[in-house]
Structures are given as C-alpha cells and as structure tokens.
C-alpha cells in the first residue's frame, strides 16, 4: 500500500487517535488487509504505540494482517443456516473457488470464511459476497452468484 494513501486516510480524521479503528477499517477497505508499513505509519501519525495497534487488529476479526482476495465470501454456518444446508453451499463454493474456508486463492481474487451468524436467519442458508447478502442459497444458486465474480 502506498503511504500517501495511508496519509490521506489519516488526514481525513484530522490525525485523531480516537479515530484509530475507523482509520484501520478505511485502510483495510482500500487494501484488503493491513500491511506492517501501514500500521507503522498510523502509529507515527496518530501517536499510538504499535503494540496497541497490534492488540486491536488481532482482537477484532474484521481486521486481517495477511492479504485478502478482492472478493470476500462469507458463508453462514450458524444453526438456522446449518439445518437448511449451509454445508452443501460451502462445499460448492470451495469447489468453485478452489480454496477452503479460511483461505485466499493465489491470485488474491477470493477469500472464503465461515461465520456463525450474518443476522438474517430467516433467509438461510446465507452467503455474503463483498457485503451483498444472498439468501435462500442452494448449491446450484451459488454457482449462478459466482458467475458475476469470475
């Protein structure tokens, strides 16, 4: 990530330490992960110790210290989705992307994660791609959704 982009994000929040989490979220949104150089720059500009930033980014699951794919896929495997066939949807998505849950493909196109709940149980099984919810998912329907991202 380019340091000028990091500086612009920090400046958007007037370099206020109280905006640390939002700064980190914006950097991750821009870059799909949080490179070490970006964390060091945030530490310098916000005057927050790197150890404190490391603590935050390892505590919250929303942050990643490793590169993520351009398309982030989340499959709900919570109870409501599980009983409606979420595992079959997950198997299909793993076959389509060539990666398992918790992985990112080598081209950095897709990252796949399972989650315990996306908060829309009535639509289960649910798959989220880049923040867009796809409900009442079936294995064949998952293939149709992925045609838009391939």
**pLDDT tens across 56-76, in order?**
999 988 899 999 999 999 999
User: In which band, very low, low, confident or very high, does the pLDDT at 147 lie, cut at 50, 70 and 90?
Assistant: confident
What is the residue extent of each domain of the chain? 3-59, 71-147
Phi-psi region of 74 (alpha: psi -120 to 50; beta: other; left: phi over 0): beta
pLDDT above 70 as % of the chain = 99
Is the domain spanning 71-147 CATH 3.40.190.10? The answer is: no
Question: In this model, does residue 93 exceed pLDDT 90?
Answer: yes
Residues 47-50: contacts with CB under 8 Å, at least 24 apart: 47/17, 48/17, 48/20
Q: How confident is the model at residue 146 (pLDDT cuts 50, 70, 90)?
A: confident
Residue 100: the pLDDT is 96
Q: pLDDT tens for residues 5-31?
A: 999 999 999 888 999 999 999 999 888
Rounded to 5°, the CA angle 12-13-15 comes to 110
């Amino acid at each position: 990530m380019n340091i000028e982009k990091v500086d612009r994000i920090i400046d958007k929040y007037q370099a206020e330490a109280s905006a640390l989490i939002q700064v980190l979220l914006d950097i991750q949104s821009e870059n799909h992960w949080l490179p070490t150089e970006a964390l060091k720059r945030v530490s310098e500009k916000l005057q927050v110790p790197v150890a404190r930033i490391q603590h935050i980014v390892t505590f919250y699951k929303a942050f990643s210290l490793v590169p993520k794919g351009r398309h982030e896929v989340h499959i709900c495997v919570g109870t409501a989705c599980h009983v409606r066939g979420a595992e079959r949807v997950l198997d299909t998505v793993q076959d389509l992307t060539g990666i398992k849950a918790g992985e990112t493909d080598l081209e950095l196109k897709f990252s796949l994660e399972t989650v315990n709940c996306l908060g829309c149980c009535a639509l289960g099984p649910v798959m989220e791609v880049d923040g867009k919810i796809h409900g009442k998912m079936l294995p064949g329907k998952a293939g149709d959704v992925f045609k838009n991202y391939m």
